[in-house]
């Protein structure tokens, strides 16, 4: 398996020597890539009934790990600055944006022990009313299926093809377009990059465009958004479930980043970091704790400090 990964990594390096996107299979610190995809499932898929676009977001996995769990953190990208990639995607003849898909991911393919190889990725997650994350056990990959991602020809061929497309090999943060006639650069080629070659939990079709239905959910009526997860193998058991940890900020300090930290009916807040695409603007944002929450956190820290000082004085 190790030799297979080394061979695949070498193929990536050879196939895209000038590529701007760091795939992470050699460096262990891949760059985040945004992908948009649409296809008409009711007719023959061709250049008019399919489209995908890839954007190099210019930040690494390690940067995301260091910053994407910070309260109030927000970063945006103007996709119109990537040349015509977005307008070309949106201009696809039969495009139905409500049926399209958005994905952001980065890879770390280095290391051999459980937890060494990593993926950060958006997931299908939030339901139609914006009330809960529906990441069912059946959609969490096994350790074996997770590890297989790094040796998948669907994944590696896609990365090679994208890095050799359009401006990726000549611009610092490039972009490219493809469709079902484009071969490996098409995001749904083979068993589908949208599912990392077969894992349904990462498939976000119909999940990003428009708004959530009205109701009492924490995101009711807001723009549809995608949660972001760190995924690693949990142990060496190929049949055990991989560990998926959401990015975000633990607003209520209970040690868990929760989609709804206090119950929607009670005015809860989502602690998740969320990706949205509105018009030309892609945004990742983490919730900002309300003033009273900050006050409670500071009061708690003050009480801890008081108890420590009291104990030292007693000694």
Q: What is the per-residue DSSP string for 259-315?
A: SSSS-GGGT----B-EEEEETTEEEEE-PPPPHHHHHHHHHHHHHHHHHHHHHHHH-
Give this prediction's pTM: 0.85
Angle at which helices 2-15 and 153-163 pack, to 10 degrees?
20
Q: Is 156 strand, coil or helix? A: helix
Residue 30 corresponds to which tokens in the numbers above? 């891949």
pLDDT at 110: 93
- Phi and psi for 103 in degrees, rounded to 5? -145, 135
145-154 per-position pLDDT tens digit: 999 999 889 9
Residue 315: predicted pLDDT = 55
Torsion of CA 80, 226, 185, 171, to 10 degrees: 40
For 107, residues 6+ apart whose C-beta sits below 8 A from its C-beta are 23, 24, 25, 30, 61, 118, 119, 149, 150, 155
Cβ pair 163, 19 in contact under 8 A: yes
Dist. CA 297–CA 76, nearest whole Å: 28
Q: How would residue 178 be classed by pLDDT, with cut points 50, 70 and 90?
A: very high
Answer yes or no: are the C-beta atoms of 221 and 210 closer than 8 Å: no
pLDDT at 189 over 60: yes
Q: Which two tokens stand for residue 130?
A: 């914006």
How many Cα atoms within 13 Å fall on the side-chain side of residue 95? 18
């Amino acid at each position: 398996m190790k030799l297979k990964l080394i061979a695949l990594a070498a193929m990536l390096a050879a196939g895209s020597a000038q590529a701007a996107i760091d795939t992470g299979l050699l460096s262990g610190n891949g760059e985040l890539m945004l992908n948009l995809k649409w296809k008409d499932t009711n007719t023959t898929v061709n250049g008019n009934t399919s489209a995908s676009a890839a954007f190099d977001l210019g930040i690494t996995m390690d940067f995301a790990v260091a910053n994407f769990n910070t309260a109030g953190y927000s970063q945006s990208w103007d996709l119109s600055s990537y040349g015509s990639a977005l307008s070309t995607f949106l201009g696809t003849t039969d495009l139905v944006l409500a049926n399209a898909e958005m994905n952001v991911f980065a890879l770390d393919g280095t290391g051999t022990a459980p937890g060494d190889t990593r993926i950060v990725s958006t997931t299908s997650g939030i339901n139609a009313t914006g009330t809960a994350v529906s990441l069912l056990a059946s959609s969490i990959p096994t350790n074996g299926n997770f590890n297989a991602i790094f040796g998948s020809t669907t994944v590696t061929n896609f990365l090679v093809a994208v890095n050799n497309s359009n401006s990726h090999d000549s611009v610092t943060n490039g972009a490219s377009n493809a469709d079902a006639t484009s071969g490996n650069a098409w995001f749904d080629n083979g068993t589908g990059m949208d599912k990392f070659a077969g894992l349904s939990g990462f498939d976000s079709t119909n999940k990003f465009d428009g708004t959530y239905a009205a109701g009492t959910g924490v995101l009711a009526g807001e723009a549809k958004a995608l949660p972001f997860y760190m995924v690693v193998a949990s142990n060496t058991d190929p049949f055990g479930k991989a560990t998926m940890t959401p990015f975000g900020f633990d607003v209520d300090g209970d040690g868990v980043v929760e989609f709804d930290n206090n119950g929607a009916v009670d005015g809860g807040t989502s602690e998740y970091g969320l990706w949205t695409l509105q018009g030309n603007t892609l945004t990742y944002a983490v919730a900002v704790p309300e003033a009273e929450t900050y006050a409670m956190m500071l009061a708690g820290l003050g009480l801890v400090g008081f108890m420590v000082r009291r104990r030292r004085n007693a000694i």
